[in-house]
Amino acid sequence: MIKRELSIVFIVVLMTMTGCKCEEPQCPACDCPAAACAEAPAPEAAVPEAPAPEKAEVPAPAVAETPEAERDLEGQKEVFDFIKKQKTYYLATVEKDQPRVRPFGTIELFEGNLYIQTGRKKNVSHQMDENGKIELCTFDGERWLRLSATAVADDRIEAQTHMLDAYPDLKKMYQPGDGNTVVYKLINVTATFDTFGAEQRVIHF
């Protein structure tokens, strides 16, 4: 009898020393008794990381134009008259790594620069907005003209009005400030006249 009582006392002491509380329900989050977890301090809530600041869009740097003193304005007028007389020229643009070319008809002089016109919704406009480097070519049967330039959109109503006044038939489809009409100023122009058997003539403006 004494041995049995001593055994019970020994078991109770052992359970007390090991912290075992088998009658308590287990904590669902771990293997310890729920009561033990209730006494422990709650874990600190994870602090969410602050979102990375949005990068501000950096506008594309403006394209430097040919200095006025280096522009051949008489040559520019000759180029304008030549293109205007042909009525149609072929304009080449770049779409990623693919060249694109199509017939064009609009050409005007406005505030001392050559201008062309198209619609904002057209692929040619998207291509020039993405990469302003263009070339055009036209031929009068004897001489041909190749012109390379950078096309820069001019959103002013005055520029659109000037172009549409020069091409009144376009007013059936376009109006100044309609959100679709867009004109492009050609800058840093190199125009080359060629004739079979004759020397090239190069004009910069």
Q: How far apart are CA 174 and CA 83, in angstroms?
A: 22
- Residue 59 belongs to some domain of the structure: no
Low-confidence residues of the chain: pLDDT under 70: 1-62
- Residue 172 belongs to some domain of the structure: yes
**pTM of the full predicted structure?**
0.69
- Residue 52 belongs to some domain of the structure: no
- Residue 91 belongs to some domain of the structure: yes
* pLDDT value of position 132: 98
Q: What is the pLDDT of residues 131-168, one digit of tens each?
A: 999 999 999 999 999 999 999 999 999 999 999 999 99
- Residue 131 belongs to some domain of the structure: yes
Say yes or no: 106 and 198 in one domain. Answer: yes
Say yes or no: 30 and 94 in one domain. Answer: no
* pLDDT value of position 69: 82
Domain of residue 11 covers: 2-39
Say yes or no: 148 and 87 in one domain. Answer: yes
Number of domains in the chain: 2
> Residue 103 sits in a domain of what CATH number?
2.30.110.10
Say yes or no: 89 and 179 in one domain. Answer: yes
- Residue 55 belongs to some domain of the structure: no
